[in-house]
Structure 1
């Protein structure tokens, strides 16, 4: 499990009020019970946790498709890679 996935799982678990042990990178967010508001609140929590701005708009065709926790971790890693080297 990547460090990013390990940090995202507790965020998702908290959003759904469930135990983090129920989740993995392959967890489908919709099947886990996510609604559109959950996605938005999770994006805000991720931005705070990782200190990034996620360019995400669920209403934009061709935008990022976040179906699993792993998809969300990939999106986060891409945003982190855009940061200038310290």
Structure 2
């Protein structure tokens, strides 16, 4: 499951950044990828739709959110947690 989640999140982030998924590294930040606040919101919506989850995210205060957006790896980890919680 983890690889599947990672691959899907990377694909979504790559689409927003207009990059190939192979160009995305887990250590990169949204700034590194050139994803602005609107792109972030669109990414969150795409993630929610892809995984049928609700992301606890406040677009007005992303740093205050429970959803860690500090790097691609953090986003993948947060999505994995939400997907696992949904299955219990």
Q: TM-score range by the shorter chain?
A: 0.7 to 0.9
Greater per-residue helix proportion:
2
Greater relative contact order structure (CA < 8 Å, 6+ sep): 1
TM-score (norm 2): 0.82
Q: How does 1:21-32 map to 2 (within 5 A)?
A: 21-32=22-33
Distance 1:60 1:21 in 2: 26
Which of 1 and 2 has greater Rg? 1
**1:29-57: CA deviations, max 9, x gaps?**
11110100011000000001111010111
Name the count of aligned residue pairs. 85
Assess, with a 3 A threshold, how the Cα gap between structure 1 residues 9 and 84 changes in structure 2: closer, same or farther.
closer
Say whether 1:56 aligns with 2:57: yes
- Which 4+ residue blocks in structure 1 deviate beyond 4 angstroms? none
In structure 2, stretches of 5+ residues that fail to align are: none
